[in-house]
């Protein structure tokens, strides 16, 4: 039975990955900060899908938390989903530097360190895959959040190119607006986002798994957001920034 480790596994896209992979008969390792919520999530998955589920409480904004997950990854996994992430309330440069640094640690340092921890075992077994959850925001200019997600996309593409091993896949997943707890936790007003722009987490994961099987290095779920990114590449950065300010992160 293959094993998948998922960070940020108790809600949103992470929870959708857990459901999909459990249905695909993966053994799961779930990582999040809230231990009680992890245990509840694990119990539900075991009851519904009958797969082994391990819980690993860890705060990826701390060196201690990162070290715990790195240690588990060195024991070997077949699939790593680097999904943990968050948005800061407020706008650059008004957000306190401590919050900005915490975001960079979770979005960038954690992705780097966990990828490096998982790869040796995958290379030894000559198989494996890593999905780094970024955002459509990576292709636009919107403060530290979009900058950190742009790093995730560039890192994923660069790591895949440097690895040069088709048996080990590394992919950046770049969803648009998804119905999760993300906006509420970041105190973001999502009322101005048109209803037709929202995606379902389960649909995002379905598209991600399809693109991973196809060997894509960047996955942009849904034709709507493929069009948004394609058009965005054709317009000046100054116009992108103005639009981003109007519709949010």
Question: Any idea which residues carry the catalytic annotation?
Answer: 145
- Asked if residues 117 and 158 have their Cβ atoms less than 8 Å apart, the reply is no
Residues 117 and 70: their CA atoms lie apart, in Å, by: 5
* Angle, CA 240 vertex, CA 236 and CA 244 arms, to 5°: 175
Region for 222 from its dihedrals, namely left if φ exceeds 0, alpha if ψ lies in -120 to 50, beta otherwise: left
Region for 6 from its dihedrals, namely left if φ exceeds 0, alpha if ψ lies in -120 to 50, beta otherwise: beta
Collapsing DSSP to helix, strand or coil, 232 comes out as: helix
CB atoms within 10 A of CB 89: 11
The helix (H) or strand (E) run that includes residue 6 is strand 3-7
- Asked if residues 136 and 227 have their Cβ atoms less than 8 Å apart, the reply is no
Query: What would the 3-class secondary structure string for 160-182 be?
Result: HHHHCCCCEEEEEECCCCECCCH
CA dihedral 29, 33, 34, 40 (to 10 degrees): -10
């Amino acid at each position: 039975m293959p094993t998948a480790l998922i960070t940020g596994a108790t809600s949103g896209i992470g929870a959708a990955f857990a459901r999909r992979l459990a249905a695909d008969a993966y053994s799961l390792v779930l990582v999040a900060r809230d231990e009680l919520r992890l245990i509840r999530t694990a119990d539900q998955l075991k009851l519904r899908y009958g797969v082994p589920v391990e819980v690993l409480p860890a705060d990826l904004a701390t060196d201690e938390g990162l070290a715990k997950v790195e240690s588990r990854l060195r024991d070997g996994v077949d699939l790593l989903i680097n999904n943990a992430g968050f948005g800061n309330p407020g706008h650059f440069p008004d957000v306190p530097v401590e919050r900005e640094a915490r975001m960079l640690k979770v979005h960038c340092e954690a992705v780097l360190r966990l990828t490096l921890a998982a790869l040796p075992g995958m290379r030894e077994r000559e198989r494996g895959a890593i999905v780094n959850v970024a955002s459509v925001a990576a292709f636009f200019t919107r403060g530290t959040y979009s900058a950190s997600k742009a790093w995730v996309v560039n890192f994923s593409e660069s790591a895949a190119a440097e690895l040069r091993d088709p048996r080990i896949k590394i992919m950046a997943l770049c969803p648009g607006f998804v119905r999760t707890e993300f906006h509420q936790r970041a105190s973001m007003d999502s009322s101005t986002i048109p209803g037709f722009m929202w995606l379902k987490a389960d649909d995002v994961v379905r598209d991600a798994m399809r693109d991973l099987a196809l060997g894509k290095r960047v996955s942009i779920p849904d034709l709507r957001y493929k069009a948004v990114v394609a058009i965005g590449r054709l317009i000046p950065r100054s116009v992108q920034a103005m639009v981003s300010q109007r519709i949010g992160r």
